[in-house]
Amino acid sequence: MLKIACFCFFCVGISAFAQELSSGFNFAKPNRKFTRIPFQLANNLIVVPLFLNEQIDTLNFVVDTGVGASIFIDSAFLQIMRADTTNLRKVIIKGAGIGEVITSYLVPKQHLRIGALVAHRQNVLVCSQSLHHISEYAGTRIHGIVGYDFFRNLVVKIDYIRKELLVYEPKYFTRKILPKYKHSQLHRITLQRQKPYIGASYVNERNDTIPLRLLIDTGAGHSVSLDIGSQRGIELPQKHIESNLGVAVNGVVLGKIARIKQFQIGNFTWLNVLATFPDSSLIAFRNEGVNRNGSIGIGILERFDITLSYSQQLCILEPNLKYNKNFDMGFSGIELISQGKSYREYKIVAIHPLSEAYKAGLQIGDEILAINNYFTSSLNISQIYELLDTKEQTLHLLIRRGGKLQVVAFKTKRII
């Protein structure tokens, strides 16, 4: 079940910065050809353990194809890296949200390790302010984001079912693994500004088939996001709803949600697909200087084992058990953040006005303590959304409001 109000915030544009990339990640042992890296799926984000400068502390990093340089989102790392900001280049990071741009610093010569992979003398970005809201939405402490640096030298397969990354040395992959795939599973991608783009198409309300160039964005919570006006024929369907589309490094992403008749990538076709349409002002603010019509996020990507080979400009799509799942946004209409030392205190930050939760009287700021006899303190945020949003059902929520406890009951239903 797709939770629309999730993370589209890692579609990051970097301005005033001709990207000074270091070597990127490679196998620590040169003769190694393959490794597996387990990941945590934190509210639809791929999170892996990363180690900085041979320290023993484990850092949680989001693996996101929607970013270029590696980004540390906690300003404390400026001190940990012993960075003198007076001598460092300032870099502006643009998010997709309503808010100011984020200032960061380019810190050179950092050593990063993820499993059997290392990146030596890496240039990284460190935000000048700590972006705690990202951890609150993810439901776990997030220290940073890694993107192009992780993918550029390697072939990476994302297995959403087993929750693991399979990483190959490119020549070994081409010789031993690639011949096993069918031609229909192979899709050409293009790279622009260190990000991968794939061809697709959709059918609009006039029954016109519109070709698309879409960013492959593993950090986005939507299925398909379309930029109105970026291509003739990309139009907002008459039946749509206003919605908070997610969270960005610089604030909330606003726009509209609607269903499109048909969406297609190669031989893969889906009907009645839920799509998001960001507000035009946010598209203009993003101003990436890239010819694109939108992006695909986890709502499409999780239906496949997806393999990305940047060096060959190749994407391999293998349908998995989720291929035929329905396209839905959360049935409850509730959006949460997680707080507290263990991120197990859940507060409502948004309620869709068309939802039964809104009609039942739930309010922003309510803390949810239990859902149908399940105490939320023992659940992570992904499990919370599973209880709230997987189907039409009757929910009984124990909430705390203004220091007082009360029970709110309502029956969920599809919003669109």
The per-residue pLDDT for range 23-79, each reduced to its tens digit, is 899 999 999 999 999 999 999 999 999 999 988 899 999 999 998 889 999 999 999
**pLDDT tens readout for residues 161-200:** 999 999 999 999 999 999 999 999 999 999 999 999 999 9
pLDDT at 100: 66
Q: Give Cβ neighbours of residue 387 (< 8 Å, ≥ 6 apart).
A: 371, 372, 374, 379, 395
Please say if the pLDDT value at position 7 is more than 60: no
Closest CA to 282 of 51, 133, 101: 101
Token couple for 371:
């859902």
According to DSSP, the β-strands at 90-94 and 102-114 are antiparallel
Q: Could you give the angle at the alpha carbon of 305 between the alpha carbons of 302 and 309, nearest 5°?
A: 115
* Domain segments of the chain as ranges: 6-170, 183-319, 334-411
Q: What is the CATH number of domain 183-319?
A: 2.40.70.10
Q: What is the pLDDT of residue 284?
A: 58
* pLDDT reported for residue 96: 54
3-state secondary structure string across 135-158:
HHHHCCCCCEEECHHHHCCCEEEE
Pairing of strands 155-159, 34-38: unpaired
- CATH number at 334-411: 2.30.42.10
* pLDDT score, position 244: 75
Say how far residue 18 (Cα) sits from the centre of its chain: 24
pLDDT of residue 12: 42
Band of the pLDDT at 243, cuts 50, 70, 90? confident
Amino acid 298: pLDDT: 95
Amino acid at 151: F
Contacts with 259 (C-beta within 8 Å, 6 or more apart), sequence order: 237, 239, 272, 273, 274, 275, 327, 416
Contact yes or no for 339/360 (Cβ under 8 A): no
Res 289 pLDDT > 80: no
Please say if the pLDDT value at position 281 is more than 90. no
| More reliable by pLDDT, 395 or 131 | 395
What pLDDT was estimated at residue 144?
96
140 touches 62 (CB < 8 A): no
**What is the reported pTM?**
0.92
Q: How far is CA 147 from CA 151, 218, 409, in A?
A: 7, 10, 42
CB atoms within 10 A of CB 79: 9
183-319 and 6-170 share a CATH fold: yes
Backbone φ and ψ of 412, nearest 5°: -75, 155
Q: Is the pLDDT of residue 247 over 80?
A: no
Confidence category of residue 288, pLDDT binned at 50, 70, 90: low
Environment class of 71 (CB within 10 Å of its CB; exposed 0-12, middle 13-18, buried 19+): buried
**Which tokens in the block code for residue 415?**
């919003």
Task: Give exposure, 400-409, as e/b (b: 16+ Cβ within 10 Å).
Answer: eeeeeeeebe
6-170 architecture in CATH?
Beta Barrel (2.40)
DSSP string, 72-139: E--THHHHHTT--GGGS-EEEEE-SSSS--EEEEEEEEEEEEETTEEEEEEEEEEESS--HHHHHHHT
pLDDT of 409 above 90: yes
What is the reported pLDDT for 367? 98
**pLDDT tens profile 76-97:** 999 999 888 888 999 888 665 5
Per-residue pLDDT, averaged over 278-303, amounts to 82
Residue 324's SS3 state is coil
Q: Note the pLDDT tens digit of each residue in 339-394.
A: 998 999 999 999 999 999 999 999 999 999 999 989 999 999 999 999 999 889 99
Contact 188, 314 (CB under 8 A): yes
